[in-house]
Amino acid sequence: MVCQCGAVQSMLLVSQVRSKNCAKSEDKTVVADEPTEDADSVELEAFAHGPESQGDRRRRLLTSAGGSRVPARLLRKQHLSRGQDKINQGKARDMRDKLEADPQEAGKKRSIIKKVEAVFDLMNTKMHDGLQEHIRIETLRIYTASMEHEKHCGGGRGCLLSLALRPGALVSTCAVEHILQRLSCEEPRARAREKPLSVVAPGMTTMQIHSLLSKVRALQLRALSSNQRLQLLSAIDIISCWGDEERCRPCPPPQPPPPPLLRLPPSMMGNRDFGSGKCKKVDPAERAISKLQQCVISVAKISPPLLASVRNTALEALLFPSIKKFMHTVTLPADVVAISLTVAAARKLGRKDAAPPWHKELFRQHNIATGTVEEFTATLTELLKPLPVVKDECDIW
């Protein structure tokens, strides 16, 4: 084979199943069956190309099953078309049972691929084919890991990492947002096999990914609050970093409830002077401490690895006058302060617990540098070290 420019093809691979260099449907020199590809890889490739029609799915199953084929012209001539249809139905059914052990799970996978395609349509933007395939494959991998975790966890509706119980539109939107966010950031990859943007979509820039990301975040979902969206984004961020071992690990048992507040501040007791008809106003500083306590409890609820002792230590630290005085000078958001307080409480107890997996996303939303939070956490740790361990209300009041 010689090109018009003069280049010669030296390594020419000749097919061993047919002789002519033409379309397979027009070649009458077929002497053997082509080797069939792996059925699982063919199925994954079909998912990567988007929603699959019923006819395409049936042809894929028949091709993966292998075996000899009789030309359709000969079948019609010998009046064997009906018999061949029965054989094809049996082969397709057997192959479907082999690939899809659980029909319900297979249906959920096909449904989530359709939801991802609906997100692409809502974005109304021409996307790179490689980027679309990467998003579909990553969404399917995260969804499959969540379903496998649900089998081992047994938490049912109480497990926050179960995506099958969430609305499909919310899961697909959050998955596309998470994958675009990972492609747009320049931080070290959480997983060794995570592909960079230059490999996923050659020619696309980070600015284009940021533009797509802004369009996904602008999508409005009916009857769903922003808290549900943030919670699901955190769950997807956790699941995306799982390996084969983590996805089979059940969630830890639920932590005991937080201790009741030892005593409310005087201005928040709610006493009413019925004689004069006047009511005491709540001190803004004490209201801020009360809000911070609720944030610490919320961090403990959405961070399963956080121990009850760490949570209780963080709550009890807010009752000491030195910590109260320091908190009145802090200008960081309450959610960020609560995360730093739990990390400082863990260090006080001699533990090396890391911050929740979603803390960087929260810092990014508030435009706070990670170094600023680390410096604030170190200051809190030094303030918590000399405090005694609280055992009873008499230790404080």
Residue 9 backbone phi and psi in degrees, to 5: -85, 115
pLDDT the model gives residue 305: 55
Residue ranges with strand state E in the chain = 272-273, 278-279
CA dist 394 and 397 (Å) reads 5
pLDDT 10s digits, 33-91 = 665 566 777 777 777 888 888 888 888 777 777 766 777 787 777 777 777 777 777 77
CA dist 206 and 8 (Å) reads 39
pLDDT 10s digits, 162-176 = 888 888 888 899 999
Q: What sections of 201-333 are H helices per DSSP?
A: 206-217, 226-240, 244-247, 284-301, 308-317, 321-327
Alpha carbon distances (Å) from 213 to 222, 320, 350 = 20, 44, 40
pLDDT the model gives residue 277: 44
Residue with tokens 């209780």: 312
Helix 39-48 vs helix 81-99: crossing angle, to nearest 10 = 90
- Neighbouring residues of 253: CB distance < 8 A, sequence distance ≥ 6: none
Q: 117: exposed, middle or buried (C-beta count within 10 Å: 0-12, 13-18, 19+)?
A: middle
- Mean pLDDT value across the chain: 75
CA dist 108 and 216 (Å) reads 22
Q: What pTM, to 2 d.p., does this model score?
A: 0.56
Q: Which helix (H) or strand (E) holds 381?
A: helix 370-384
Residue stretches of the chain with pLDDT short of 70: 1-2, 4, 6-16, 25, 31-38, 67-68, 154-158, 186-193, 223, 253-287, 302-307, 352-361, 390-397
pLDDT the model gives residue 395: 41
pLDDT the model gives residue 259: 60
pLDDT the model gives residue 88: 78
Burial of 347-359, coded b for 16+ CB within 10 Å and e otherwise, reads bbeeeebebbbbb
Q: How many residues in the chain?
A: 397
CA dist 33 and 94 (Å) reads 20
CA torsion 264→267→268→272, rounded to 10°?
120
